[in-house]
Amino acid sequence: MKKTPARLADGREIIYFDETDDAVRELYDSRELPPAHTLSQVRYDPLLAEWVAIASHRQSRTFLPPTSECPLDPSTKDRLTEIPSPAYDVVVFENRFPSFTTGGADEPVPSDDGTVVTRRPGAGRCEVVCFTSDHDSSFSQLTPERVRTVVDVWADRTETLNALPFVEQVFCFENRGEEIGVTLDHPHGQIYAYPFVTPRTRRMLDSAHRHRDRTGENLFARVLADEQRIGERIVASNEHWTAFVPAFARWPFEVHLYPHRQVPGIPELSDAERDSFGPIYLDVLRRFDALFDTPMPYISAWHQAPARVDRDLAYLHLQLFSIRREAGKLKYLAGSESGMGVFINDIPPERSAALLREATAQ
């Protein structure tokens, strides 16, 4: 894989990841843009013991532009975009409207206002990952070879961002579909480098710690082993990965993909594990789309170890879920879910797994 870094007109970094060593990309961004300078802040919620990001500049981010104005398409002589080159395989660049910025690491700590709410600069980094230059494609239409490239890109960025002194956790994810809240149609994902360990990861690792103290075993490995033993909720599997609907699924259609070997993050996956991920993941994505014979809105979220703590407890896995519960019907986070954090799933996980197994992957 060929890696070519450059800078956009406003100073943001862009990196081309190409599958052939002879690929030549346009590195000069001829747009006239002011220097990138965005500030955000994180504030600590003492009631929930969680950090909340405040990033008011994101109110002006690009929202569902027509295809002819997509900023993630390759540039042409008639239209300049976020990607200066007229072609690319996979490309990563700093988000123009980030929730966290590397510049935040140099900002002064906000003054204390006498309340119990702690404030900090929003140090971190937010990146956009374009999986293909084809605007009308989707992740499910990628080849296994391209998925392998994307996995290598996730690994590269995770390793690089974990090394930043102000980053505590790296999160690779994809949002797909307007129903989910996607504001750009082009096939892309994002990477967030947080200045704290996220609440969900902290809670999972605390549970894993208690389970290990009580039983001596890894909690994530036990969940995987139980699903493999029972088999009823398995959707697909191969030599290195198992995809299953967890018995505790919150969402109507939710699949977890686990490697059979415990590793803390994507960088630690072997070549064989990276190669075998693409076929099984594409199979599951295509089953999602086949369920209701229409593109399924989804969130695809990698759960990785924090950069510096509890890496021995963590177990890399991917969580894929959709808010669609039936053709033409969505699962909304209503009073119980949004107000109390108690999920109510309309579809039993065993039924969801059966429907996905029956779906013909397109």
Half-sphere exposure of residue 261, counting CA atoms within 13 Å on the CB side? 14
Angle (deg, nearest 10), helices 219-230 and 199-215: 80
- In the set 57, 135, 186, 188, the catalytic residue is 188
How many residues are present in the chain? 362
Going by their DSSP bridges, the two strands 329-330 and 241-244 should be labelled as: unpaired
Angle at 130 between CA 270 and CA 267, to 5 degrees: 20
Provide the b/e sequence for 158-187 (b: ≥16 CB within 10 Å): bebbbebebbbbbbbbbbbbeebebebbbb
State whether residue 243 is helix, strand or coil.
Answer: strand
What span, in angstroms and rounded, lies between the C-alpha atoms of 258 and 240? Answer: 8
**Nearest CA-CA partner of 329 in 352, 354, 287, 297:** 297
Q: What is the dihedral of CA 336, 342, 345, 349, to 10 degrees?
A: 180
Half-sphere exposure of residue 342, counting CA atoms within 13 Å on the CB side? 3
What span, in angstroms and rounded, lies between the C-alpha atoms of 269 and 280? Answer: 15
Residues 6+ apart with CB under 8 A from 56: none
Structure token pair of residue 61: 């981010």
Is residue 57 flagged as an active site residue? no
> What are the residue numbers of the active site?
188
